[in-house]
Amino acid sequence: MEDDKPWALVSGVVEHGVYEDLTPIIKQHFQILCYKDFLQNPQLHGPKIQAVLVWNNIPPTDPSTLRSLPSLKVVANGGVGIDHLDVPYINSLGVKVTNTPGVVSDATADMAMGLLLASARKIVQGHQISVDPNTTNHKPQSLMGVEVTGSTMGIIGMGHIGCRIAQRGKGFDMKILYHNRNRRSVKEEQAVGATYCEKMDDLLKESDFVVLAVNLSPETTGLISTRELNLMKPTATLVNISRGRVVDQDALVKALQSETILAAALDVTYPEPLPRDHLLLGLPNVLITPHVGTDTLSTSRKIVQRMVENAVAVLKGQSIPNEVKPK
């Protein structure tokens, strides 16, 4: 019976468009309330909500919102990153937190390689020249790119996504270096042809492409700043598919302007979107996409399915597939 299903607070209900088949996945297990409708009368709706399904940071999980949800049992986040969630505080309310690792790895790794290739071979610039009605020289020297095959890729953050990126780099016969908090097993290294760099500085000095795939934490905030950029080759490209705050953007602007590094390809910035007058937006050696690393229909379905599985497991007192616990 529909009335027997628990209530979930969600970012929105999509009846039409590319995401329309995601809502039925949630409705199989929950009665759903959109955040905008919840805001009309939190006192009325709040007590019945047992699960919050967070998509693109909505609904928010600030103390004010959480205090209005006395029956809440779980905050199920869509995606891996939980830097927008105060996990200790949420747990202090007796509420579990979950995320969706694994299901986002391939799409995010594809995006990393797509950014790397597009930047190296100046694909966006080539398209713009090809469709410009004023183009007279359709193959200017400015489109001369950087060879990807046989180059060195350094991956900072060798978790599930980092390993998937390494797999793709191996397909381009790239030399793969990586730096990680914990070294992977020899078997895992051999599977992707990766070499461990105990010191991140060594990776920065040797890599033609530095790919950031770390989680955002106090330790990784500002991980790449002036010092680190100065260690990179002047022919190197920085690729960021992690979080915008991992990079000191002011330092990055200066490094790109002064040609300390060759280029940057970013799927993440801080804030998102950047102010329209931000200096990064005017630099010719920057490629920026709007944090779409996981945005494929297949991955979106997997994310929603995993969010629902996690939430249902909490409410039924079952083993939780992907619980996030304070470190």
| Spatial CB neighbours of 232, under 8 Å, sequence gap ≥ 6 | 204, 205, 207, 210, 238, 260, 261
Pairwise CA distance, residues 216 & 128, whole Å: 34
| Spatial CB neighbours of 113, under 8 Å, sequence gap ≥ 6 | 165, 168, 169
Contact 85, 61 (CB under 8 A): yes
Residue 206: active-site member: no
Catalytic residue, candidates 160, 272, 278, 323:
272
What are the backbone dihedrals phi and psi of residue 34, each rounded to the nearest 5 degrees, phi first? -75, 145
Contact 56, 11 (CB under 8 A): yes
Residue 121: active-site member: no
Burial class (CB in 10 A: 0-12, 13-18, 19+), 314: buried
Catalytic residue, candidates 168, 184, 291, 306:
291
Catalytic residue, candidates 164, 168, 179, 243:
243
- If we measure between CA atoms, which residue out of 311, 263, 307 comes closest to residue 288? 263
Residue 15: active-site member: no
Q: Which residues are catalytic?
A: 243, 272, 291
